[in-house]
Amino acid sequence: MPLNQYVYFALSSERTTAKEMAAVLGIEPDETTVRASRLAEPPMPVCHRWKIGCRAPGLRVDEQVAQVLDRLRPHVGRIAELARRLDQEGEGHSAVLQVVRYFNDDECADNAERSGSNLFGWHLGRDVLEFLDATGAVLDVDEYDLAPDAPGGQP
């Protein structure tokens, strides 16, 4: 089954920009996003997001998580402090470890089937759980099946 997956760690805020987060942390993000307001007036962003991620193909989720956390662990104190501050100014849960998986993704599939890798099983070790606890981060796993519907609407 073709599979495309990636992980990222993100900090989000309604008020603090990703640029300001990078300055506090001393870490340039791999990616930033700004989700705009649904109202034209006042035109204020709803959410700023600072992200460090891994999209390396052929790796299990736990291997991708390890690559992300290897980059973040030296800064865990600053990340935890900033996450607590962002939680207080917002509605909490500003830090997230996000796992995104697309099954039956023929267009962007990892070459795992050709290499013999099994990307379906993964686990999070105690070190990952300790990082999530230290930073107050939540784990969010999104999985999508992109298989076309069978005739008659039956999968």
Pick the closest to residue 131 from 42, 22, 52 (CA basis): 52
Cα-based distances in Å from 147 to 49, 121, 155: 30, 20, 8
Q: Give yes or no for residue 22 having a pLDDT over 60.
A: yes
What's the mean per-residue pLDDT of the chain?
Answer: 86
pLDDT of residue 154: 43
Contact 42, 9 (CB under 8 A): no
pLDDT of residue 150: 38
The SS3 of residue 89 is: helix
Encoded amino acid at 98, one letter: Q
pLDDT digits (tens, 9 = 90+) for 28-58: 999 998 877 666 666 665 789 999 999 999 8
| pTM of the full structure | 0.84
Alpha-helical segments (H) within the chain = 18-25, 61-72, 76-89, 112-115, 126-135
Residue 79 or 152, more confident: 79
Contact 103, 141 (CB under 8 A): no
pLDDT of residue 120: 86
